[in-house]
Amino acid sequence: MASELKTIGVIGAGQMGTGIVHVCALGGYDVLIYDVAMDRIQSGLATITGNMTRQLHRGTITEEQRQAALGRIRAAENLDALADADLVIESATENEQVKRKIFAQVCPVMKPEAILATNTSSISITRLAASTDRPERFIGIHFMNPVPMMELVELVRGIATEDETFQAARGFVKQLGKVAAVSEDFPAFMVNRILMPMINEAIYTLYEGVGTVEAIDTAMRLGAHHPMGPLQLADFIGLDTCLSVMQVLHEGLADSKYRPCPLLVKYVEAGWLGRKTRRGFYDYRGEKPVPTR
């Protein structure tokens, strides 16, 4: 079944979408990348070229692999261009309404046998699948950020996902050289259910004045051997994404331990979303990041 997947469509040319296109092209698939504006697609293609060049300089890929992979990527000017895709992966913002709207637009274009996947990090696969015309051929394929570097992919079946769909997705993940971890369809799956409350707790630790931004990050880097501190990691992920995952956990499991920290809410309301807006728990506008509190 996995061998039948030849062309992959990716919806969303942001950080995650471009990473998914990158690994699919290196994995030997023909890839179509779509976004609402052509300039976003062009910007995404430039990011992919730059990231592959970095991999080349690090010696992780050869020039032949880079050229071949770049040759497999095409811009999709509209959703109709995804008609030939065997698998379409939605990688838009972590907002259920946005995702449902995309599915409503892309499903009529797709081949009946094509698989539709979502890269959601927290939203119910069963619920998203039910809004499509193909719940049996719908699955969660959740990549980790940054996609080219992270080895894990969470595979999440909805209640209606057929075994054939699951096996095809598993073969696809293997072809990319990634490791699949299978999660049940519960809010935030596995990685984010464990990771996001830890980040949220770090923000509470800051909010309550237990430690400064630098002290908290240093404590977890050196005291728990985390490669980056939780507040630095939150900035990298995007504070809006952190908040939306915590809200999904809080609403989905109705447990007060998942209540988003008020300080996280305040930063998101300020538009300080982390690295992408150049301010979050650190200010990235100077030569080196400076804590904002």
Active site residue 142: yes
| Residue with tokens 């990771």, as numbered in its chain | 195
Active site residue 122: no
Q: What distance in Å separates the CA atoms of residue 153 and residue 9, rounded to the nearest whole number?
A: 18
Cβ neighbours for 78, distance < 8 A, ≥ 6 positions apart = 34
Active site residue 63: no
Query: Within 10 Å of residue 31's Cβ, how many Cβ atoms?
Result: 24
| Residue with tokens 């969303």, as numbered in its chain | 12
Active site residue 95: no
DSSP strand pairing (138-143 vs 152-157)? antiparallel
- Of the candidates 91, 119, 121, 200, the residue annotated as catalytic is 121
- Of the candidates 154, 183, 200, 244, the residue annotated as catalytic is 154
Q: What distance in Å separates the CA atoms of residue 37 and residue 120, rounded to the nearest whole number?
A: 21
Q: What distance in Å separates the CA atoms of residue 180 and residue 219, rounded to the nearest whole number?
A: 31
- Of the candidates 119, 124, 183, 192, the residue annotated as catalytic is 192
Task: Retrieve residue 89's tokens.
Answer: 């992966």
- Of the candidates 91, 142, 183, 244, the residue annotated as catalytic is 142
Tell me the catalytic residues: 121, 142, 154, 192
